[in-house]
Amino acid sequence: MADGFELLTAAHAYLLAAVRGVPADGWGSASPCSDWTVAQVLNHARLDQQALTMKIGGTPPAGDPFAPGTEPGADPVAELEAVLKDSAAAWESVRGAETVETPVGTMPPAQGA
């Protein structure tokens, strides 16, 4: 079984692949999340990554992951890449710790990642 760090890397790659596949005019389209557009799903994912590491790095998300904005940003792929890079670095910084504080409680880093 893969550890949390391997799963995080794979999940980030899948998310980036999905975002790269959205056409420029697709951000306002409906998503499988009935109340959210494709852009809102992207923003939720981006903000959620920031929220999950805010107790590690001390920086809160740029907004509420559960009330995401409707605009994808000027460069959705680059903006997501930056967030995912920061997220991966935050988790990596605590890889050797026994436990880490997260918004959902204290846990081993490999579980949180």
Domain assignment present for residue 89? The answer is yes
Domain count, the chain: 1
Q: What is the pLDDT of residues 82-108, one digit of tens each?
A: 999 999 999 999 999 999 999 999 999
Domain assignment present for residue 54? The answer is yes
Domain assignment present for residue 81? The answer is yes
Domain limits for position 47: 4-17+40-112
Domain assignment present for residue 95? The answer is yes
Euclidean distance between the first and the last CA atom of the chain, given in angstroms as a whole number = 14
Domain assignment present for residue 31? The answer is no
Range list of β-strands (E), the chain: 100-102, 105-107
Radius of gyration over every alpha carbon of the chain, rounded to an integer in angstroms: 14
Tell me the pLDDT band of 57, cut-offs 50, 70 and 90: confident
Q: What is the pLDDT of residues 4-43, one digit of tens each?
A: 899 999 999 999 999 999 999 999 999 999 999 999 999 9
